Structure 1
Amino acid sequence: MILSLWKYMQGYVVIQVRGYSPERFINLCANKNIYIWNVRKISEGYVFCISGKAFFMLSPIAKKTKCRVKILEKVGLPFKFLRVKKRKYFFYGLLFSIASVILLSFFVWRIEIDGNLNYTNEEITAYLAQQNITIGSLKPKIKCSELDDQLLSHFNKTMWVSSELVGTKLIIHIREGVESEIIVDNKKPCDMIATKKGTVVSIITRTGTPLVKQGDEVEKDAILVSGTLEIKELTEIKAVEFTHSDADIFIRTKHPYSDTLEYQYIDKQYIKEKEKKDKAFQLFHFKINVLKPNMKAFRYDTVEKQTQIEPIKNFYLPIYFTTTTYMPFEEVEKVYSPEQAKEILTQRLILHMKKLEENNIQILSNDVIFKEDKKSFIASGSIYVIEKNGDIKFFDETIRRQEYNEYFTEEDGDTP
């Protein structure tokens, strides 16, 4: 192994010897201590390897033995350098390319986001831009742990965020859940009030005084759990304390629902035979169109497919190839039949109820009805649900205390 590497570093040639006496040629090489190896006999003489330096000692031997020497192959570093020297501009270009790739490896050239459903890629990348994290940002300036905390804080419906730098790519993994609760001071006294009108289905109170029970009808803004604790002895109030109310309250209520679909609509009919494509090359922000078709005579939609150069896995470069398909169309006025309109509105209603269920709202029933108008088909009614209710409302402890002045005498004035 070491000997083979040494031969490669020194450089050697594979030659063919033919003529009057090739055997004598080989013997004379041995007599003159010229090292040869891998000797093979062929129909027209011999083939063997010899160092590049020793090759120039073969001319007298060839004349003496009346043999001809032909170089079949040049192997080793010296010959590689000779080739490069002849192509110096290629060599300089190669060095420039290597240096450019090394330099580009210090930047982010691709941002990928996965797991996001409630928030679009555009919303997240816009926020990243506010934090000065964009395509072309320096990798050392991106602190993934800090970025995770910022994303969790800004996007309330995220339960977990993990970002990582892989090659020249920034990957942001997101797991979404229910909207994060706003952090409040749980030591500050407050009541819990109803946010909607409805019927109490269940109430589990952890702190505070419940003012309603199962089956009670409540109005919007009614106090469900009071932050006032009356400490009694039998029926007599001995002291009053104030606390931060906390409870799980579920009420049966209704959500108004309304949706409209106009009978007349515009249908796009695409003209397949008129479709045209444009290919473009982009380096950083500089874009060159190979041939942009003339589509002035048509109204058209475009579909763009962009491919980013990735010479090595996860090592993206700011080089893009884009194919744009221009799809001309004609607009044709059409009219939904009542059956079609009802089916579309029904599917919209089902989708709306699914979204409610995704937010942990239990659907009981609905009384949505469909009716025809002169120009449109209308769905209207209510969706009856059971949902968690109750919002905190802070109160001024001093004002609330005035309602119980008779219980705060000089003797118990220190009562909290």
Structure 2
Amino acid sequence: MEKLYDLARGTVRLEISGAEPERILNFCAQNGIEFWDTDPKADFAMQITIHAADYPLVQSQNGKNGIELRLVAAKGGKNITASMKRRFVLCIGVGVCIVLLAISSLFVWRIDITGNDTISDGVILRALSECGLKNGVFWPALSSDEVRSDMLMKLPDIAWLSVNVHNSCVEVVIHERIAKPDIVNETERTDVKAAKSGYITKLSVLEGKALVSIGDTVSMGDTLISGTMDSETAADRQVHAMGSVQARTWYEINAQTPIYESVKTEKGHSKTSLSLVFGKNLIKFSTDSRNNGASCAKINKLRYAALGEAFTLPVGIIKQETTEFTLQKQRIDENAATQRLKQNLLSELKRRIGDGSVSQTSFSVSKTDELLTVTLRAECIENIGVEYDRKNDRS
């Protein structure tokens, strides 16, 4: 701030030479003239800086007592005014740019989203747009509380969010909702039934009456643990059956892939075209290539001009890279395809058994003129018991 003050008043850099240059320093002190940046240059010379308004008074001492004063540099003050007069159009342009920048800072030109893991940026941006928060909107007219309330209604998977405005940039911090754990309603009358066929290896009953034993073979839908408890002295008691039934299960899963696949081959060199984004308008510098007969792949990259991290200008460049290609049919690498299908089958098996374990697996491969087939046969140990509400039987 002090430097800006000195620049506005104007400063003068003087070189003092003579037998006693300190006489000028004493003269300044006696007359209340502020000086700074004293710098000795030789045995009988030094340089000081004073305000431009004090220069005539100090210059009056030139030649007295054998002292010589020489002007080294002058900055600010009238020099700025004179420079502005010589460059009037440039100054007007700079002033207009500053005004436009100040006005553009009142509009949103960039939205940053953080904290989202399961909800994609695209879904959040569409919801924000429906709530009134999008590029080009006048942010002082927005209510962060209203945007937050509308977003929580549109996206129930969001627990809370905050909307922070930094000039033309808006930061949206997302905190996703944590799924509630399953709560057992012990007032419900349920049975435990077999979700899959299997050979029972372990039985653990927490509530209810076991209808099967270890070593039994059951089919899908069989009742394993009944919610009806027998009583010798009173009527049967209905409870919420709970328990774990570990069983040996078997799977046979197939996966297929075509023997031949279409491969993209680049046709010539890629082409790059630029477009200018100004606010909500798009200005193209080249003709549209969407009507080209050849197949092509396009990659668009948008980058806005920015001043630091918190200020984004409403001007950006879209760089589009277009690569023409042709499709050629070729035979796949069967070994690589087989390994890929095996991994996919193991992933699918893991998804089906959940917390269960795999005892043993085997693969078989077959192929025709068009298809490659991989078959997985597996033996697993898993919990096949699932709770079944008796209300479903009555409905």
1:393 matched residue in structure 2: 388
Which stretches in structure 2 are left out of the alignment for 5+ residues?
none
1:369 matched residue in structure 2: 364
Matches within 5 A, 1:101-112: 101=105, 103-104=106-107, 109-112=111-114
| Alignment match of 2:332 (pick from 318, 329, 336) | 336
Computed over aligned residues only, the root mean square deviation of the Cα atoms, in angstroms, reads 4.9
Aligned residues: 377
Report SS of the residue matched to 2:231. Answer: strand
1:169 matched residue in structure 2: 171
Please list the CA deviations of residues 222-247 of structure 1 after superposition, one character each: whole Å capped at 9, or x if unmatched. Answer: 222222222235xxxx2222222222
Q: 1:286 to 1:385 in 2, by over 3 A?
A: farther
2:375 matched residue in structure 1: 380
Structure 2 letter corresponding to 1:228: T
Which stretches in structure 1 are left out of the alignment for 5+ residues?
156-160, 400-416
Matches within 5 A, 1:285-304: 285-291=280-286, 294=289, 296=292, 298-304=294-300
Which range is displaced more, 192-201 or 39-48?
39-48
1:13 matched residue in structure 2: 11
Structure 2 letter corresponding to 1:299: S
Structure 2 letter corresponding to 1:170: V
Report SS of the residue matched to 2:215. Answer: coil
Structure 2 letter corresponding to 1:377: L
User: Aligned partners of 2:100, 2:313: CA distance in 1, in Å?
Assistant: 15
1:57 deviates by 4.6
Q: 1:169 to 1:370 in 2, by over 3 A?
A: same
| Alignment match of 1:100 (pick from 95, 99, 104) | 104
1:72 deviates by 0.9
User: Aligned partners of 1:263, 1:394: CA distance in 2, in Å?
Assistant: 47
Q: 1:164 to 1:72 in 2, by over 3 A?
A: same
- Normalising by structure 2, report the TM-score: 0.71
Q: 1:140 to 1:335 in 2, by over 3 A?
A: same
User: Aligned partners of 2:392, 2:327: CA distance in 1, in Å?
Assistant: 66
Report SS of the residue matched to 1:232. Answer: coil
Q: Does the CA-based 8 Å contact 2:7-2:75 persist in structure 1?
A: no
Report SS of the residue matched to 1:91. Answer: helix
User: Aligned partners of 2:260, 2:23: CA distance in 1, in Å?
Assistant: 99
1:410 matched residue in structure 2: none
Q: Does the CA-based 8 Å contact 2:200-2:217 persist in structure 1?
A: yes
User: Aligned partners of 2:314, 2:153: CA distance in 1, in Å?
Assistant: 28
1:109 deviates by 0.9
1:125 matched residue in structure 2: 124
Percent identity of paired positions between Structure 1 and Structure 2: 14
Q: 1:130 to 1:191 in 2, by over 3 A?
A: farther
Please list the CA deviations of residues 31-86 of structure 1 after superposition, one character each: whole Å capped at 9, or x if unmatched. Answer: 9936253455668976433323333556766699997864613257x877887796
1:370 deviates by 1.6
1:8 deviates by 2.9
Which range is displaced more, 315-324 or 371-380?
315-324
Q: 1:332 to 1:189 in 2, by over 3 A?
A: same
User: Aligned partners of 1:187, 1:310: CA distance in 2, in Å?
Assistant: 61
User: Aligned partners of 2:81, 2:309: CA distance in 1, in Å?
Assistant: 31
User: Aligned partners of 1:338, 1:28: CA distance in 2, in Å?
Assistant: 96
- Normalising by structure 1, report the TM-score: 0.68
Q: 1:110 to 1:180 in 2, by over 3 A?
A: same
Q: Does the CA-based 8 Å contact 1:276-1:293 persist in structure 2?
A: no
Structure 2 letter corresponding to 1:229: M
1:270 matched residue in structure 2: 266
Please list the CA deviations of residues 91-146 of structure 1 after superposition, one character each: whole Å capped at 9, or x if unmatched. Answer: 35324424533x347x9712245544xx6555x53784598486458572378799
User: Aligned partners of 1:252, 1:223: CA distance in 2, in Å?
Assistant: 17
1:213 matched residue in structure 2: 213
Matches within 5 A, 1:230-269: 230-233=230-233, 238-269=234-265
1:263 deviates by 1.4
Q: Does the CA-based 8 Å contact 1:192-1:245 persist in structure 2?
A: yes
1:172 deviates by 3.6
Report SS of the residue matched to 1:342. Answer: helix
